[in-house]
Amino acid sequence: MRIAAALLHKCKTQCFQGYISISTSASISTNPYTTFFQVRRVANYADTAAGFEEMASGSHRRYYMLGGKGGVGKTSCAASLAVKFANHGHPTLVVSTDPAHSLSDSFAQDLAGGSLVAVQGVDSPLYALEINPEKTREEFRTVSQAKGDSEVKNLMSSMGLGMLADQLGDLKLGELLDTPPPGMDEAIAISKVLQFVESQEYNMFTRIIFDTAPTGHTLRLLSLPDFMDASIGKMMKMKKKLASATSAIKSMFGKGEMPQDTTSDKLEQLRERMAKVRDLFRNSDTTEFIIVTIPTVMAISESSRLRASLKKENVPVQKLVVNQVLPLSASDCKFCAMKRKDQMRAIEIIENDPELASLRLIQAPLMDVEIRGVPALKFMGDMVWR
As annotated, the active-site residues are 98
Cβ atoms 187, 225 nearer than 8 A: no
d(CA 333, CA 16): 10
Cβ atoms 376, 36 nearer than 8 A: no
Burial letters 320-352, b for 16+ CB under 10 A, else e = bbbbbbbbebeeebeebeebbeebeebeebbee
Cβ atoms 131, 244 nearer than 8 A: no
d(CA 105, CA 79): 10
**Helical axes 215-252 vs 263-282, angle rounded to 10°:** 150
Q: Rounded to an integer, what is the distance from CA 281 to the centroid of its chain?
A: 12
Residue 382, helix vs strand vs coil: helix
Task: Report angle CA 261, 264, 270 to the nearest 5 degrees.
Answer: 135
d(CA 82, CA 331): 35
d(CA 269, CA 273): 6
Q: Please name which of 381, 372, 377, 364 lies closest in space to residue 20, comparing C-alpha atoms.
A: 364
Q: Residue 386: exposed, middle, or buried by beta-carbon count in 10 A (0-12, 13-18, 19+)?
A: middle
Per-position DSSP letters for 140-172, written without gaps between them: HHHHHHHH-HHHHHHHHHHTT-HHHHHHTTTS-
d(CA 291, CA 318): 9
